[in-house]
Amino acid sequence: MAALMRGDFDRACMMFKEGSRLDPDNKGNQDAGRKGRMAKSVWAEAMVEKGKREWERVVELLNVIEDSIKDIIVQGSELESMIYVERAKARLRMKDFEGSLKDSGYILYSKEDSAEGWVVKSRALMGLGREEEAMEDLRRVMESWGAAEERVREVWEQLEFAVRKKNRADYYALFDLPSVCSEMEIKKKYKVKALELHPDKWMEATTEDRAGATEKFKLLGEGLEILTDDFKRRLYDEGYDKQAIEDRVQRAERAAHHRTGYHGHHGSG
């Protein structure tokens, strides 16, 4: 039974078979052996379906395993974790984020330090648009053991990116232009919007309205700078915010300077 709970189907089936040979009248062993063989067979089929990306079928098969061994499975066992992890990941692929979140919750209830559990939970929350909640949950994991786990670090970085993207300024909306607009359209619209939002036009407005117009005027300038620069606009369209764009530009400039300096030094020799 211990081998089955570890998810070692081959060894479990071999041991159940040996147990039946030594004690042919042991009904409990026979029942466990039958369930172990069934779990092995259905698991293998589920993994084949996973390779074919038949996610609904994967979930169905894992449900069959769970239902058939629910009276013998040990909570917190490796086998239980295997079932929930694979089903949670399949549900992610199906965009059944609520179902995936539920499965990951079971994983973490039994095994709080499951890297797979935290990764799946975070991605399910991302799918539900709850990135800030996912970051808050994952923060304490990152502060303890998560930073040493590549998979956890990767999903943390994805969460940071998603939150920054969600909270960044929408320059296209500010210009009242679609994302496919031309540079000429942006510059033309900037002149119109800049006149509307210029602080001098809001001197008689309430403090709140004046502050709002001033902020939009500032964002308008940022938008013009980013959307009329091919490299910066590409980064913005990929989801980067202003700070991340500036960081990428600085890195690119340092790399270009390094290459130029290297070649110049090499040539002078």
Enter the tokens of residue 25: 């009248």
| pTM passes above 0.85 | no
If one counts every other C-beta atom within 10 angstroms of the C-beta of residue 147, the result is 12
pLDDT tens digits, 12-28: 666 656 555 556 666 66
pLDDT at 268: 45
Confidence of residue 214 (pLDDT cuts 50, 70, 90): very high
Q: What one-letter code names the amino acid at 237?
A: D
| Alpha carbon separation from 260 to 69, 117, 248, 257 (Å, rounded) | 65, 46, 18, 5
Given a contact cutoff of 8 angstroms between Cβ atoms, the answer to whether 21 and 12 are in contact is: no
Q: Report the distance separating Cα 122 and Cα 88, nearest Å.
A: 11
Beta-carbon contacts of 69 under 8 Å, excluding residues fewer than 6 positions away, are 35, 39, 79
What domains lie within the chain, and their CATH numbers? 2-167 (1.25.40.10), 171-268 (1.10.287.110)
> What is the pLDDT of the chain when averaged over all its residues?
88
Cα first-last separation, the chain: 72
Averaged pLDDT, 170-193: 96
The rounded distance, in Å, linking the Cα atoms of 221 and 106 is 49
Alpha-carbon dihedral sign for residues 62, 64, 67, 72: negative
**pLDDT tens digits along 53-70:** 999 999 999 999 999 888
